Amino acid sequence: MTIHIGAKPGEIAETVLMPGDPLRAKWAAETFLENPVCVNEIRGMLGFTGTWRGNPVTIHGSGMGMPSLSIYANELIRDYGARTLIRIGSTGAMQDYVKLRDVVLAMTSSTLSTPSRGIFRELNFAPCADYGLLEAANAAARAKGITTHVGGIYSSDVFYDERPDLNEQMTRHGILAVEMEAAELYTLAARHGCRALAVLTVSDHLLTHEALPSEDRQSSFSDMVEIALEAAFA
């Protein structure tokens, strides 16, 4: 076990799906995995391991924001041998053609800062997804008839943003959507030679101010989890 993960050796799979919300990790594990077992509940951050089509899978919460995700991703990779990490989460659309319930596959992630910035200093490192995962996820989404967008996203340091000028520039430069974790996940995966991808469901829209009702979110999020699992084992 580590400081933040109480799983025993062998209880974490090489493939890990990472929603921000620990209760969403519980829901996803109970919905999609066979024989899921809770392997972590330290600080309320739930993790479950089971199988999907015979393949071992762990679904573990990351918390909100890059600092929180960095803690769990580091420990999952360094101490438990995770090799494929897929973020599954919600995102806010930043282009008018990206609609509620669409799925965004993050090819790259721009950011003002990440917990890894101290390593790079003056270098603007460009974190990107694993191409194999990205290609497989796109194929899985298209096979299901799900409207999907592939491109750059923005990983923000803050939820309550007060930089409308920055958002305008993101939209102007084709950024598809905003969330809070992917850039650090991609950076850590690059550092440790792992595969990473963010599969995101559009739950709200920064331009139209639309938002999915809570009762509609679960059915929309199901598509995202299925795409992530298909991609991991393509």
96 catalytically annotated: no
**Is 43 annotated for ligand binding?**
yes
Indicate whether 140 pLDDT > 90: yes
- List 21, 79, 157, 204, catalytic entry: 204
Q: Is 230 annotated as a binding residue?
A: no
C-alpha count within 13 angstroms, C-beta hemisphere, residue 33 = 26
What is the rounded distance in angstroms from the CA atom of residue 23 to the CA atom of residue 44? Answer: 9
pTM of the model: 0.95
Measured distance CA(147)–CA(83) in Å, rounded = 28
- pLDDT digit string, tens, across residues 105-126: 999 999 998 889 889 888 999 9
Residue 38: exposed, middle, or buried by beta-carbon count in 10 A (0-12, 13-18, 19+)?
A: middle
117 exposure class (CB count in 10 Å sphere: 0-12, 13-18, 19+): middle
Question: Distance (Å, rounded) from C-alpha 86 to C-alpha 49?
Answer: 15
**Which pLDDT band holds residue 218 (cuts at 50, 70, 90)?**
low
User: Which DSSP string corresponds to the chain?
Assistant: --SS--PPTT-S-SEEEE-SSHHHHHHHHHHHSEEEEEEE-GGG--EEEEEETTEEEEEE---SSHHHHHHHHHHHHHTT---EEEEEEEEEE-STT--TT-EEEEEEEE-S--TTHHHHTT-----B--HHHHHHHHHHHHHTT--EEEEEEEE-S-SS---HHHHHHHHHTT--EEESSHHHHHHHHHHHT-EEEEEEEEEEETTT--B--HHHHHHHHHHHHHHHHHHHT-
Q: pLDDT at position 70, please? A: 97
Which tens digit of pLDDT belongs to each residue from 61-83? Answer: 999 999 999 999 999 999 999 99
Is 87 labelled as part of a ligand binding site?
yes
Domain residue extents for the chain: 15-232
What is the CATH architecture of 15-232? 3-Layer(aba) Sandwich (3.40)
Annotated binding residue 181: yes
What digits encode the pLDDT tens for the residues 39-59?
Answer: 999 999 999 999 999 999 999
